[in-house]
A and B are shown apart, each in its own frame.
Chain A
Amino acid sequence: MSWPRLSPSSPPARDRILGLTARATGLLGVSAVVLVGLFLLKETGSLLGRVPLEALFGSEWQPSLGRYGLAPILVGSVTVTLGSVLLATPLGVLLAVFLQFHAPPSVATVLLRGLELLAGVPSVVFGFLGLTSLAPLLGQTLLTGVLVLGLMILPTLALLAHSGLASVGSGPRLAAAALGLSVPAIAWRVIVPAARRTLTTAVLLATGRALGETMAVLMVTGNVIDWPRSLTAPVRTLTAHVALEMSYAEGDHRAALFLSGLVLFLLAGALVVLGARLGRAGATARG
């Protein structure tokens, strides 16, 4: 009886093709990111070379008068995003714990399907609802934006947190139950800490979604360019800024809008790096 010879130097053709395709796809993904970065740099190049950075990050935006200060808009973006994440994170984790530990299976199934459906609702629908139902009560303000955006990222956060809790497995849960711990203690003292890493990733993914959201925010935050002095003040985010002005901008005005895009790109990149860092730190802490 003779076994087919396995030679590591020449894998079957099918595997080779699969490997090459995977590599090509990976390369395509990476080069797309690099190209987007280069494109943004190219479009902003003329402005960055000529106008000093402190002018570009000043506080006044009047394109027709040659003033391109992005600082209040950058702060606006960060404030709305942080606000919505601060609102959605506790609710999302609570919802996930409820689904995992307290809800009867039939209720959990219905709730999960509902959350999945909600996570798939286009953001413009959230924006429209916010504009026609929430804005008449609260005005178009930072608070309205935080509420709409928080509600929008809640399903994503809850679903990711739920699968994070599920991924801990039954081992720790059974061990904790055997020790006589109550259900809340098992949930909050054992499973949630064990799932810390995936929960962090869930929060970062939701932050990314909130940061990049455009239409829902544009329709409810008022879009006035000013520092967000209070919850009831209007704010403009970087995304809304680009969407509002890009199609009508030329020359320096256009380049300054591309700079907003570049700043957004860097913020998103920082989130990814942060996610990788925290993930690694969590891994070493657990290992």
Chain B
Amino acid sequence: MTRLLPCLLLVALSLGCSRPDPDLRLILTGSSTVAPLATEIAHHFESENPGIRVDVQSGGSSRGVADTRRGLADIGMISRDLLPEETDLIAHVIARDGIGVIVHADNPIQRLSSTQLRAIYTRAVTDWAELGGAPGRITVVNKAAGRATLAVFLEHLQLRPDEVSADVVIGENEHGIKTVAGDPGAIGYVSIGAAEHDRGLGIPVRLVELDGVTASRTAVATGRYPMSRPLCLVTHGPPAGLARRFIDHARSESAHELAATQSFVPASS
């Protein structure tokens, strides 16, 4: 009996290590912005389809594209549009993420243009009075290097990362919102969903109108809001089998709810 037990264990281990059936396993890699949402959708998908396993690994949009092309991943995740040289892939938009500019609730500034925003972040303008607001030094809140929000913000303003000069560098959206809420002269940018949610809780921040468009989830959903990006799943060629079922699930009503809880805007279908 004492000999039998280790043998049984070994057999069990070797069974566990054998490669799972490809029809029962799905691998997703790519954007770290999409990954948390994809993970939630995957949990949901797994509970509705017992026996199926979905692996979600983050590592950036470019990894998602590369892995999908090489067949290392069944589905890639990207937090941007497909590039002109990526026409061999098909993108399936599952949600949109809008980036809103926030100021303290006491700041009288209601609207800013991209040009003004550019001047603030490069320190060509350092006082709110120069923009028609109440006199006071502008505290510039920026995102840490590598964050997708930073990339979208810089691309929209056509700035290089070393042209921006900040007073505070933040990581998560919440950190940014609390920072702006604690400083009447501060300006920052975060996910619109997160800002709307926190403003609803009474935190003193306000979303600023950008280039004449109100920053709201609705404006992001309709595509009118200028600073936003799509969150997509990509496949090499039309999806089939399990990948197709997963993508359908990711664009269904139940997945829309998951997107909303993560402060994204569900893709209008």
Residues of chain A whose beta carbon lies under 8 Å from any beta carbon of chain B: 60-65, 131-132, 135-136, 139-140, 218-219, 222-225, 234, 236, 243-245, 247-250, 253
Contact (Cβ within 8 A) A245 B145: yes
Given known contacts A64-B145, A65-B162, A219-B175, A135 and B182 CB-to-CB distance under 8 angstroms: yes
Residues of A within 8 A of B168 (CB): 140, 222-224, 234
Contact of A132 among B62, B162, B178 (CB under 8 A): B178
Please determine whether B32 and A248 come into contact, CB atoms closer than 8 angstroms. Answer: yes
Partner of A234, one of B148, B162, B167, B182: B167
| Least CB separation from A219: chain B residue | B175
Of A60, A139, A218, which contacts B171 at CB under 8 A? Answer: A218
B147 at the interface (CB under 8 A from A): yes
Is B183's CB under 8 angstroms from A236's CB? no
CB-CB under 8 A for A136 and B183, given A65-B160, A245-B144: yes
**Minimal beta-carbon separation of B136 from chain A (angstroms):** 13
Name which residue of chain B comes closest to A233, CB basis: B167
B12-60 interface with A by 8 A CB criterion = 32, 58-60
- Residue of A65, A139, A244, A245 near B183 (CB, 8 A) is A139
Q: Which residue of B lies closest to A257 (CB)?
A: B146
Give Cα A253–Cα B151 distance, bound, in whole angstroms: 15
- Give the docked Cα–Cα distance between A239 and B168 (Å): 16
B146, A224: Cβ atoms under 8 Å? no
Contact in complex: A131, B178 (CB < 8 Å): yes
Report yes or no: A222 in contact with B146, Cβ–Cβ below 8 A: no
* B170 CB contacts on chain A under 8 angstroms: 223
Q: Is the CB of A132 within 8 A of B161?
A: no
Instruction: For the complex of A and B, list the 9 residue pairs with the smallest distance between their C-beta atoms, beginning with the closest.
Output: A248-B146, A136-B182, A223-B169, A244-B144, A222-B168, A244-B171, A140-B168, A245-B146, A62-B162
| Residue of chain B at shortest CB distance from A63 | B145
CB distance from B31 to the nearest CB of A (A): 10
Q: How many residues of B contact A (CB 8 A)?
A: 26
Whether A62 pairs with B182 at a CB distance below 8 angstroms is: no
B179 at the interface (CB under 8 A from A): yes
Please name all residues of chain B whose beta carbon is closer than 8 Å to the beta carbon of A234 when the two chains form the complex: 167-169
Q: How far is the CB of A218 from chain B (nearest CB, A)?
A: 7
B166 within 8 A of A: yes
Q: B139 an interface residue at 8 Å Cβ cutoff?
A: yes
Residues from chain B with a CB closer than 8 A to the CB of A132 are: 178, 182
Q: Are B179 and A62 in contact (CB under 8 A)?
A: no
20 extra A-B contacts, CB within 8 A, seeds A245-B144, A245-B145: A64-B145, A131-B178, A131-B182, A135-B179, A135-B182, A136-B183, A139-B139, A139-B183, A140-B179, A218-B171, A222-B168, A223-B169, A236-B169, A243-B171, A244-B144, A244-B169, A248-B145, A250-B62, A250-B63, A253-B146
Given contacts A139-B183, A250-B59, contact A222 B167 (CB under 8 A): yes
Q: List 28 A-B contacts (CB under 8 A).
A: A62-B161, A63-B145, A64-B161, A131-B178, A131-B182, A132-B182, A136-B183, A140-B168, A218-B175, A219-B175, A222-B169, A223-B168, A223-B170, A224-B166, A224-B168, A224-B169, A234-B167, A234-B168, A234-B169, A243-B171, A244-B144, A244-B145, A245-B144, A245-B146, A248-B32, A248-B146, A250-B59, A250-B60
Contact residues in B for A136 (Cβ distance below 8 Å): 182-183
**Inter-chain contact B146/A63, CB cutoff 8 Å:** yes
| Chain A residues near B166 (CB-CB < 8 A) | 224
A160 → B minimal CB distance (Å): 32
Q: How does the 8 Å CB contact mask read for B65-101 relative to A, with 1 for contact and 0 for none?
A: 0000000000000000000000000000000000000
Q: A140-B179, A224-B168, A224-B169 given as contacts; is B146 within 8 A of A249 (CB)?
A: yes
| Interfacial residues of chain B within 137-157, with CB under 8 A of chain A in the complex | 139, 144-148
For B171-189 the 0/1 string (1 means CB < 8 A from A) is 1000100110011000000
CB-based nearest A residue for B165:
A224
**Residues on the B chain within 8 Å of A219, using CB:** 175
**Residues in chain B near residue A65, CB distance under 8 A:** 160-162
By beta carbon, the residue of chain B nearest A218 is B171
A253 to B168, alpha carbons, bound, how many Å? Answer: 21
* Cα–Cα distance between A132 and B171 once the two chains are bound (Å): 16
Chain B residues near A244: list those with CB within 8 A.
Answer: 144-145, 169, 171
